[in-house]
Amino acid sequence: MTEARSHDVTIVGAGLAGCEAAFQLAERGHHVRLLEMKPARRTPAQTSDFFAELVCSNSLRGAALANAVGLLKEELRRVGSLLMRVADRTSVPAGGALAVDRERFGAEMTTTMREHPRITVETGEVTEIPRDERPVILATGPLTADALASSIAEAVGTKHLAYYDAIAPILSADSINWSKVWKQSRWGKGTAERAQEPGRKMMAEDAEESGDEAYVNCPFDEETYRAFVAALVAAEKVAPREFEDVRYFEGCLPCEVMAERGERTLAYGPMKPVGLVDPRTGRRPHAVIQLRAEDVAATAYNMVGFQTRMKYPEQLRVFRMVPGLEEAEFLRFGSVHRNTFVDAPRVLGPGMEMLRMPGVFLAGQVAGVEGYVESAAAGFVCAVLLAQRLAGKPLAPPPKTTALGGIVTHLGREQPSYQPSNITWAHLPPLEGTKSRLTKRARYEAMAERALADLDPWKNSAL
């Protein structure tokens, strides 16, 4: 005789996403079995036995609503997030940011999990996707243990699981000096061959017809290029953490590593100017950095091929040497670090469910988000959508105009090479009409106002 199940949902991992998901499901009346390998075992990055451990920093980043993550935190407050409840209670002075007392935060999150009447915590390492547990949420974080990661890879396909995260910076379109750059794709249609003829000087009208304008080009002359490469080499870098075995992929090397290999390496790599003609000079530049739009409305751009381990202040200093980016506002800085995540747009279906394994859901950084708050938000969304399903209701994700909806948008937005991301304004649809012409800060504040106005009806009907 089969023993009756004492739980409705199994969750693997008691990090930020797992704890948030467990709490939201339990608060909606579901019994949750939470599997966590602490205290029996820790990942190399962990130093305590607390759940929801903040391993890198105690900061949850900016608090202002003109900041995308500030909006995300406010939305989470309004929908009853455990992360925000505990963070606000354990906060410490941090200027314009929300930071917490790491020990108090971890202790309270752990106590909440262990003492909740509808959450049962079990200790032990999970080495494969549970076979007889459905539904199950995998919230195992960026350092998912090798055995379980292999099980996930088998389920989604090896090419759809990454073990290293190489992120290029994203900057606001408003902050680009458009008088110094131009739009053109490499090898533009109709004029590609002529552009490569030795000594050929093309006219501006030729260049305007030479591509689909999918890229913004920041041109360098030889002197500017040499100074930029020297700055990359000299910049202060983030040292690898002890648990990171730094083995860079040749296809996505940090830009400073390429610079260290020789002064001309970048000019033959991501800064190669072939197939491009500056319409102001009619000639090919010495080198170029290309920017690619992050969203349909082109409110933000990605620095193509410029993943980096430079420290954030150094990124600001060095990347503002790029022609056209002298006053760039960075929505996300670049990074390179150990991370385990899936190609979410190709692996996950509605409700964050694995397409190849129905009943298995992914939440947090393994699903393809970046950051403490974003991980908890992904856990929240996953739990709410699963609760809707368990109640026999149609899926009702957060509105796309909200930051919570932006998390869903990012997980579903196909990219040539999918990368996790912090929440940015590019994940929300732009304002329309006269509001689209507001100053940058006023526009962000208006987007936040719109988000919070749209959140309330959803909260009342879907939660």
Q: Do 311 and 395 share a structural domain? A: no
Residue 353 within any structural domain of the chain: yes
Which of the listed residues 308, 333, 358 is the one where a domain comes to its end? 333
Q: Per the annotation, does 13 bind a ligand? A: yes
- Our count of domains for the chain comes to 2
Residue 149 clears pLDDT 60, i.e. is over it? yes
Query: Which pLDDT score is estimated for 212?
Result: 57
pLDDT digits (tens, 9 = 90+) for 114-139: 999 999 999 988 888 888 889 999 99
Query: Which pLDDT score is estimated for 198?
Result: 34
Q: Do 116 and 82 share a structural domain? A: yes
Look at 164 and 99; give whichever has higher pLDDT: 99
Q: Do 175 and 135 share a structural domain? A: no
Which of the listed residues 317, 333, 349 is the one where a domain comes to its end? 333
Strand-pair partners of 353: 361
Look at 448 and 421; give whichever has higher pLDDT: 448
**What CATH number is attached to the domain comprising 38?**
3.50.50.60
What's the chain's average pLDDT? 85
Please give the residue range of the domain that contains residue 21: 9-163+339-462
**What CATH number is attached to the domain comprising 282?**
2.40.30
pLDDT digits (tens, 9 = 90+) for 165-211: 667 899 999 999 999 999 998 776 333 333 333 333 333 333 333 34
Q: Do 325 and 198 share a structural domain? A: yes
Q: Do 380 and 452 share a structural domain? A: yes
Q: Per the annotation, does 17 bind a ligand? A: yes
Look at 204 and 152; give whichever has higher pLDDT: 152
Q: Do 181 and 122 share a structural domain? A: no
Which of the listed residues 295, 317, 333 is the one where a domain comes to its end? 333
How are beta strands 215-220 and 287-293 bridged, if at all? antiparallel
Distances (CA, A) of 418 to 53, 104, 162, 369: 26, 35, 10, 11
Q: Per the annotation, does 18 bind a ligand? A: yes
Residue 346 within any structural domain of the chain: yes
Q: Per the annotation, does 14 bind a ligand? A: yes
pLDDT digits (tens, 9 = 90+) for 305-361: 898 989 999 999 999 999 999 999 998 888 776 678 888 999 999 899 999 999 999
Residue 1 within any structural domain of the chain: no
Q: How far apart are CA 423 and CA 399, in angstroms?
A: 15
Q: Do 312 and 380 share a structural domain? A: no
Q: Do 347 and 314 share a structural domain? A: no
Residue 4 within any structural domain of the chain: no
Residue 386 clears pLDDT 50, i.e. is over it? yes
Stated length of the chain: 463
Judge if pTM exceeds 0.85. Answer: no
**What are the strands, taking DSSP E only, across 197-334?**
215-220, 287-293, 300-303, 330-332
